[in-house]
Each structure stands twice: as C-alpha cells, then as structure tokens.
C-alpha cells in the first residue's frame, strides 16, 4: 500500500466536489417527470455519447477486461465489434421508432404488441439484471481502492453509494448525464495513465512486451474455425455480440431512455454512435493493460503472492490488476486512478438508478395509481431511487462480507429470468402474425432451456443431472433468443391472429406511417409537463 499524499487527496476531493456541484446545479430544475427522466429532450449528442460510454465502462470493466487478457487473449473484445455493426445495421430504425413509440419506458411497446404481461416480464427482467449489477459494481472497486488507501471497504461502499444516491435523487437524469461526462473523461485519463506507466516500467521496453505477447498469442482474437461449440471461437463471440447488442439497443431501458433525452432522431443516433465508437477503443485499452501486466510480470520475474493463486497454484487473473494498482502505482498518480475507479462505479449506478425509477413509475406505479398526478409520480420516482440505492449498498456490503460466491444463485436466477428479450423484440417488431399466446409459448421453452443450461453448465453450475449443458456460456442466451423466435412464431399459427394489431406497431407499418408522416396517438409522448 502506497500512502496517499496531498495531491492525491486533492484530486479525490476535487472530483467529489465537481460531482456535488453538478448535482446541485440541476436539482432546482426537477419539477416534473418530463425533466426528471428525459430532460425534456434537451441533451446535446456529444454529452449523450459520453454518458453512454461512462455507463458501459463500469468498475467491472476495469477488472474483467484486464483479467481476461492477462489469463488468456483478446477474445472477450470480439462482441464489442457488434456494438458498431448492429448500430450500422439497424440502429437508426430502433432509435427513431422508440422515440415515437413510447413515452418513457421501453417496455410500453411490448404491452402494445402482447399485453401487460409481456410488459411486466420484460420490465422485471431488466430490473433483476441491473439490480444485481449495481451491488457488484460497488463491491468491485473496493479491492483496488482499499488496497491503495487502507480505507475500510464497507465505508467505501456506503460512501460511494450515498453520494451517488443523493445526486441522482435531486438532480435527475440531467445530473446523471453531466456527471457521466465528467466521469467518462476521468476514466479515459485513468486507463491512459496506467498504459503509460506500464510502458515506462516495462523491462526491455514496449518492444520486448509486444514481442513476448506475440510469441504467446496473447493478442489473438480467438480461433477462426467452424467449431462454434468450443470456447474462445471468434465466430461464437461475434454471434453472441450480435444478439447482446440487439438486446441492448432494442430492450434495455438505459439506452432507450438515452434516445428520449436527445433533441432529435438525428442527434440521438449521433450520440449512440459516439458512445459505441468510444467504447471499442476503451475496451481495447483495457485488454492491452492486461496483456502488458502479463508481460511485465513475465519479464521482471516478479513472483506473485499466494493470495493471487487458486488451490491448484494457478494465478486468478481478475486479481492481478487490483494487486498491481496496490503495489506499483506511485503516490503521484494514485489520486487520479482512485477517482477513475470511483467514477466507474458511480456512473453505472446512477444511470441504473434513474432508469429503474423510470421503469418503476411507468410500468408499475401508473398501473396501480392511474389517477396519480405528475407531482405524485415524481415523488414516487425519487423514492424508488432512494430504496434501490440503499438496497444496492446492502448487496455490495453483503458480497464484501461473504465473497463473490454468495451471488452465484442470484446471478443464475437473473440469467434465467431475462431469457429471450432480443427474440421477443424481433417477434414483436418483424412479425405481424405473432400473437401473445405464441410469444408465451416461446418464452416458456426459452426459460426451461435457460434454467437447465445455466444450472447444469456455465459458470453458475449448481446441479449435475447427468445430462448437462456443455457448450460455451455465451451461447445460452443466443439459443434462448432463437427458441423464442422459432417456437413463438410457429406456435402463433395455432391461435387466431391478433385483431387489435395496429400497423405501426411493426416495422413495415411503421415505415409506411413514417413515410407519410402520419403518426397516430399511441406514438405520442405521455410524459406530463
């Protein structure tokens, strides 16, 4: 542990001071749900893009990507390529469609197509997944920060969570966006400083590191053969990335809500594109950090301590980067890197909290209290932020006390619960014939498959049934989406076609409506002024 000097503490204080100032700046403007959740469509594209980047590059990214490249190669980078390719292929359609089809929640669309049950299912799947992520994000930063400072990990979790909850409650989505602009810049500075420091201390220089990494194929993107059922296959990861980013662009509230805060369809597309274009080089930088860490410890001959090894004596790759930050980063740089770690957790948590509140208000509260005033919905949204933030802090503290294995069952349940959302959107958007009975048949089959595959195989393996799932983990979601598509569409023919289906609820009708500029009432915004 390197003791923090006054420049480090000054950087940390300055960072938190700027975050507080941004939150205070926008607090007085949060007088309606329109402002609190969508900023009345006033955010410029460049701020929206930096916000998306800051949300995606979380504290999990800080650990997972260097860990993956330290322990293997750059195969984990491959899905990220699809963030751009899926956007190029259909992003302009998704963005323009959702800006007209929903008022706030992405899951309003599923109710239009398949009834409230589909809306509730998709909202619950989103909520469960992001809830688990917030607690884990808070826990992830503690290893490095507490190792560098000696601070108590529970104090760090509670402090970061409290500050994030406060500025999210009072500042709304505007405070979230503009703090994420700051946090995105801090993260970029942090990863570039780590890369520069690694190059500076590398025995033999950068050339020796790249030579050694090349000899051991540490920068490989995986195998390119046709065996998709093997781990580390390039094409498997590419297919996984295609479905993952289709699900992000079309069913994830954190992105759909970003579409709504932009000034126009064009501005929204530019913002999403900027976010994707920033993420890919950032992911590459984190991969490079892991490769250079591997080369550094190989070339320096440093023996890693026992607490970084598993029972078989193999290095636990995810622990190496935090260990390096704890033992090697000089005091002069520590403050910037600690601020980067704080920002990595806070940006993701703040975005999730505001989006969870939006889903809670639109998909649950308005159903329970349809006569509630806009003021009452605003208060309900702030209460949801407070409750969800406190629960996230408790989850982070629970993981810190019990270890990461404590969440195995919860993560398994989350993976099962969120099965098939991308397939669900494809059926809704591209098929006029699919009806709600067919959808639920497809979802039921996908849920059964996902439960079997997740519990008997994958990284959450909890059961041994003798006949277990043995393919790569990343294909579980891909297969589930495929089952929803095939079973859902086929089963729909066993039931009468939907009689209430509006033409503009599918791609073909929407394109025709858009061409004639005749967008009818269900596509009008529902937020109050």
Residues 273-297, mean pLDDT to the nearest whole number: 94
CA distance 51 to 173: 11
- Environment class of 471 (CB within 10 Å of its CB; exposed 0-12, middle 13-18, buried 19+): middle
pLDDT of residue 334: 83
Helices (H), 216-330: 234-251, 253-261, 265-300, 320-328
**Tens digit of pLDDT for each residue in 275-284?**
999 999 999 9
User: And the tokens for 111?
Assistant: 């109710």
Question: 262 phi and psi, to 5 degrees?
Answer: -80, 160
Least confident piece of the model among 181-190, 226-235, 368-377, 440-449: 226-235
262 three-class SS: strand
pLDDT band at 529; cut points 50, 70, 90: very low
pLDDT of residue 409: 52
**Is it the case that residue 174 has pLDDT exceeding 90?**
yes
pLDDT of residue 108: 93
pLDDT of residue 355: 95
**Is it the case that residue 93 has pLDDT exceeding 70?**
yes
H, E, C per residue of 446-482: HHHHHHHHHHHCCCCCCCCCCCCCCCCCHHHHHHHHH
Least confident piece of the model among 66-80, 211-225, 227-241: 227-241
**Is it the case that residue 405 has pLDDT exceeding 60?**
no
How far from 280 is each of 60, 186, 449, 453, CA to CA, in Å? 16, 17, 32, 30
233 three-class SS: strand
**Is it the case that residue 316 has pLDDT exceeding 80?**
yes
Residues 338-348, mean pLDDT to the nearest whole number: 91
Handedness of CA 186, 192, 254, 92 (dihedral sign): positive
pLDDT of residue 457: 83
CA distance 71 to 315: 8
Residue 10: enclosing H or E segment and its boundaries?
Answer: helix 6-27
Residues 136-142, mean pLDDT to the nearest whole number: 87
pLDDT of residue 417: 63
CA distance 386 to 390: 6
pLDDT band at 471; cut points 50, 70, 90: confident
pLDDT of residue 226: 77
Q: What is the mean pLDDT of the chain?
A: 87
Sequence ranges of the domains in the chain: 48-418, 419-521
pLDDT of residue 306: 87
pLDDT band at 513; cut points 50, 70, 90: confident
% of residues, the chain, pLDDT over 70: 93
pLDDT band at 165; cut points 50, 70, 90: very high
pLDDT of residue 3: 61
CA distance 379 to 30: 11
**Tens digit of pLDDT for each residue in 96-137?**
999 988 889 999 999 999 999 999 999 988 888 887 788 888
334 three-class SS: helix
What is the third-level CATH fold of 48-418?
Sodium/glucose cotransporter (1.20.1730)
**Is it the case that residue 222 has pLDDT exceeding 60?**
yes
Residues 24-36, mean pLDDT to the nearest whole number: 91
pLDDT band at 528; cut points 50, 70, 90: very low
**Tens digit of pLDDT for each residue in 473-493?**
888 888 999 999 999 999 999
- Environment class of 160 (CB within 10 Å of its CB; exposed 0-12, middle 13-18, buried 19+): buried
pLDDT of residue 404: 55
Please indicate whether residue 412 or residue 155 has the higher confidence score (pLDDT).
Answer: 155
**Is it the case that residue 228 has pLDDT exceeding 70?**
yes
pLDDT of residue 505: 87
Residues 299-319, mean pLDDT to the nearest whole number: 85
**Is it the case that residue 218 has pLDDT exceeding 90?**
yes
pLDDT of residue 121: 92
pLDDT band at 372; cut points 50, 70, 90: very high
% of residues, the chain, pLDDT over 90: 54
Structure letter (DSSP) for residue 264 = S
pLDDT of residue 515: 67
């Amino acid at each position: 542990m390197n003791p923090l000097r006054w420049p480090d503490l000054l950087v940390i204080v300055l960072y938190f001071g700027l975050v507080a100032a941004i939150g205070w700046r926008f607090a007085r403007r949060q007088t309606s749900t329109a402002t609190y959740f969508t900023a009345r469509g006033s955010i410029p594209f460049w701020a929206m893009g930096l916000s998306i980047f800051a949300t995606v590059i979380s504290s999990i990214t800080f650990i997972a990507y260097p860990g993956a490249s330290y322990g293997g190669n750059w195969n984990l980078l491959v899905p990220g390529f699809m963030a751009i390719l899926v956007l190029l292929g259909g992003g302009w359609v998704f963005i323009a469609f959702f800006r007209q089809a929903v008022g706030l929640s992405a899951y309003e669309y599923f109710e239009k197509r398949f009834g409230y049950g589909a809306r509730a299912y998709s909202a619950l799947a989103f909520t469960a997944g992001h809830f688990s992520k917030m607690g884990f994000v808070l826990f992830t930063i503690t290893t490095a920060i507490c190792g560098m400072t000696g601070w108590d990990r529970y104090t760090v979790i509670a402090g970061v969570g409290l500050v994030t909850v406060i500025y999210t409650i009072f500042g709304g989505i505007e405070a979230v966006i503009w703090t994420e602009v700051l946090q995105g810049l801090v993260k970029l500075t942090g990863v570039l400083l780590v890369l520069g420091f690694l190059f500076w201390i590398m025995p033999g220089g950068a050339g020796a590191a790249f030579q050694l990494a090349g000899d051991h194929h540490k920068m490989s993107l995986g195998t390119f053969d046709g065996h998709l059922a093997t781990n580390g296959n390039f094409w498997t990861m590419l297919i996984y990335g295609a479905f993952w980013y289709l699900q992000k662009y079309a069913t994830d509230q954190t992105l759909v809500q970003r579409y709504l805060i932009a000034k126009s369809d064009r501005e929204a597309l530019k913002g999403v594109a900027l976010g994707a274009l920033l993420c890919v080089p950032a992911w590459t930088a984190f991969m490079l950090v892991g490769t250079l860490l591997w080369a550094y410890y190989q070339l320096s001959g440093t023996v890693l301590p026992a607490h970084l090894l598993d029972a078989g004596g193999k290095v636990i790759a995810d622990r190496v980067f935090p260990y390096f930050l704890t033992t090697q980063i000089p005091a002069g740089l520590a403050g910037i890197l600690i601020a980067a770690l704080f920002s990595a957790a806070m940006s993701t948590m703040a975005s999730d909290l505001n989006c969870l509140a939006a889903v809670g208000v639109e998909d649950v509260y308005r159903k329970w209290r349809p006569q509630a005033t806009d003021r009452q919905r605003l208060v309900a949204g702030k209460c949801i932020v407070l409750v969800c933030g406190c629960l996230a802090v408790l989850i982070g503290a629970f993981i810190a006390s019990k270890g990461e294995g404590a969440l195995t069952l919860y993560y398994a349940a989350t993976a099962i619960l969120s099965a098939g959302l991308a397939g669900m959107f494809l059926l809704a958007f591209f098929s006029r014939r699919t009806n709600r009975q067919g959808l639920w048949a497809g979802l039921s089959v996908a849920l059964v498959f996902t439960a079997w595959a997740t519990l008997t195989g994958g990284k959450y393996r909890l059961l041994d049934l003798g006949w277990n799932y043995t393919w790569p983990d990343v294909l579980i979601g891909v297969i589930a989406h495929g089952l929803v598509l095939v079973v859902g569409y086929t089963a729909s023919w066993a039931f009468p076609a939907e009689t209430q289906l509006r033409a503009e609820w599918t791609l073909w009708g929407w394109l025709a409506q858009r061409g004639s500029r005749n967008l009818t009432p269900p596509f009008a915004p529902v937020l109050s002024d």
